Structure 1
Amino acid sequence: MSLIQSDSNLLDTVNQAAQQAVPVVRDENLSLIQMMMKGGWIMVPILLLLFIGLIIFFERFLTIRKAAKYDVSLMSQVKASVLSGKLDAALAVCRSSHSALGRMLQKGLLRVGRPIKDIEGAIENVGKLEVAKLEKNINILGIIAGIAPMLGFVGTIFGVITIFHEVEMAGGIDIGSVSGGLYVKMVASASGLTVGILAYIGYHILNMMVERLILRMETDAVEFIDLLDEPGA
């Protein structure tokens, strides 16, 4: 009987030791918002840059897309009116189009009778103004693409400095606290890089849209100048 009791006590002791030896696994599922909040104060400017970048991108995207809608009948109507000598009708068509190309052609029509160089210069000046309107605030996305990753690195550096300060004050290294602190601070770097990449992509998408629109406007402007320069025009 004493032998059975002794074996039972030994088994209990082994079970207690095993339970103490097995690490406790914490089931902690972090949502994206909770994880971003762990990045510290540096997440405030990073999230602000993200918000500004999204507003600029979608506002410019819709504006450029609206300006890029091509009126196929515009050039044909203007050409027909000019060849028939109806400049007033051509001007009315340009005014009713409410497009960048329409405003360019309108300025050229108002200069009809002057040297071709003057007409070409007037159209070019209006085109520059229209392009400047389309490119408004796009450069801010380029600035965000450069600043956001640097802010993330700054947050990580400050976090590492804080960790080592705590280690110095504690007089020893706790692997758990150090690794956990680094994990938290790397959130700032990841967030900054993500915002920077998104801003970089948005910046180049908008620039490509503007460049395509500029090419089409230049092509139509050259066609219009050639039309006015024809002997019968």
Structure 2
Amino acid sequence: MNLFLLQIADTASKAVDAVSAATTGEAPKDLSLINLLFQGGVLMIPLFLLLVLAVYFFFERWIAINKASKIDENFMSIIKDHILSGNVAAARSLAKNTGHPVARIIDKGLQRIGKPIDAIEKSMENVGRLETYKLERNLGVLSLIAGIAPMFGFLGTIVGMVQLFYGISSTGEYTLSTIASGIYVKMITSATGLIIGLLAYVGHSFLNAQVDKTVNKMEVASSDFLDTLQEPTR
């Protein structure tokens, strides 16, 4: 019975507080996500910068790789027709005017027509490696962020524990208010670092898969081109 009366009293007290807040125009002090992140302390600044870098380089590479992966499906057919008809100049003109890694590889092969197949293949492989390097450029940044973001979170854990023990030693009291700031830093920085690292890792893996698809297209086009050179002209 006494417990029931205490519950009623507590409910009435909360109702009075709500009415008072509505009357005075004051908003309830709820902890928003932004305020919660601010509780992480100064280490949230480098974590935020890492997040910005991860988002920027992901979309920069995604746009570049997506652009490089698109080529006219009839490109190799037209190149093959020009080569078999002996019109190498037209094939070179088409390759030069097509801004695509495959086109640049084929153009290098067209420049070496008349030389041994091994020499042509070697030249095309060299261009292919350069094009692959261009596609993979800045992917290492995402890999680096995926590795160091959780480290910053772990550093936040250490800082939070230092704040916790410093607060206890300063006040001599082991109360919730004393340890709250240290716990905030510890948990928030750790969670933020892990989330950023996970996002960077997933983004890096996704982009690597897209690069592999584009490289496969380059290899298929190179193989078709070399096969075409060994066919008799019309």
Q: Is residue 66 of structure 2 the alignment partner of residue 69 of structure 1? A: no
Partner of 2:142: 141
- When the two structures are superposed, what TM-score results if normalisation uses the length of structure 2? 0.86
In structure 2, C-alpha distance between the alignment counterparts of 1:128 and 1:184, rounded to whole Å: 46
Q: How does 1:214-229 map to 2 (within 5 A)?
A: 214-229=215-230
Instruction: Give the aligned length.
Output: 216
Amino acid at match of 2:202: I
In structure 1, C-alpha distance between the alignment counterparts of 2:160 and 2:102, rounded to whole Å: 54
Amino acid at match of 1:60: R
In structure 1, C-alpha distance between the alignment counterparts of 2:176 and 2:37, rounded to whole Å: 23
CA contact (8 A) 1:141 1:203 kept: yes
In structure 1, C-alpha distance between the alignment counterparts of 2:34 and 2:192, rounded to whole Å: 11
CA contact (8 A) 2:80 2:228 kept: yes
In structure 1, C-alpha distance between the alignment counterparts of 2:99 and 2:185, rounded to whole Å: 52
In structure 1, C-alpha distance between the alignment counterparts of 2:228 and 2:30, rounded to whole Å: 68
In structure 2, C-alpha distance between the alignment counterparts of 1:201 and 1:194, rounded to whole Å: 11
Partner of 1:209: 210
Amino acid at match of 1:196: G
Q: How does 1:47-196 map to 2 (within 5 A)?
A: 47-179=48-180, 181-196=182-197
Query: For 1:85-119, what per-residue CA distance to the aligned partner results, in whole angstroms no more than 9, with x for missing partners?
Result: 00000001101111100000000000000000010
Q: Unaligned regions of 5+ residues in structure 2, if any?
A: 18-27
Secondary structure of the residue aligned to 1:98 is coil
Moved over 3 A (4+): none
In structure 2, C-alpha distance between the alignment counterparts of 1:128 and 1:167, rounded to whole Å: 59
Choose 200-209 or 179-188, whichever is displaced more: 179-188
Choose 192-201 or 162-171, whichever is displaced more: 162-171
Partner of 2:20: none
Amino acid at match of 1:130: E
Secondary structure of the residue aligned to 2:70 is coil
Query: For 1:169-216, what per-residue CA distance to the aligned partner results, in whole angstroms no more than 9, with x for missing partners?
Result: 212211343245313431111110110000000000000000011111
In structure 1, C-alpha distance between the alignment counterparts of 2:43 and 2:110, rounded to whole Å: 55
In structure 2, C-alpha distance between the alignment counterparts of 1:136 and 1:56, rounded to whole Å: 10
CA contact (8 A) 1:40 1:185 kept: no
Secondary structure of the residue aligned to 2:74 is helix
In structure 1, C-alpha distance between the alignment counterparts of 2:90 and 2:152, rounded to whole Å: 57
- When the two structures are superposed, what TM-score results if normalisation uses the length of structure 1? 0.86
In structure 2, C-alpha distance between the alignment counterparts of 1:215 and 1:136, rounded to whole Å: 18
Amino acid at match of 1:162: Q
CA contact (8 A) 2:168 2:178 kept: no
Query: For 1:27-80, what per-residue CA distance to the aligned partner results, in whole angstroms no more than 9, with x for missing partners?
Result: 542222221111001111110010011110000000000000121111011000
Amino acid at match of 1:30: L
- Give the CA deviation at 1:159: 1.2
Secondary structure of the residue aligned to 2:216 is helix
CA contact (8 A) 1:131 1:214 kept: yes
In structure 2, C-alpha distance between the alignment counterparts of 1:89 and 1:232, rounded to whole Å: 15
Amino acid at match of 2:172: G
In structure 1, C-alpha distance between the alignment counterparts of 2:172 and 2:233, rounded to whole Å: 93
Secondary structure of the residue aligned to 1:72 is coil
Secondary structure of the residue aligned to 1:97 is coil
Choose 184-193 or 118-127, whichever is displaced more: 184-193
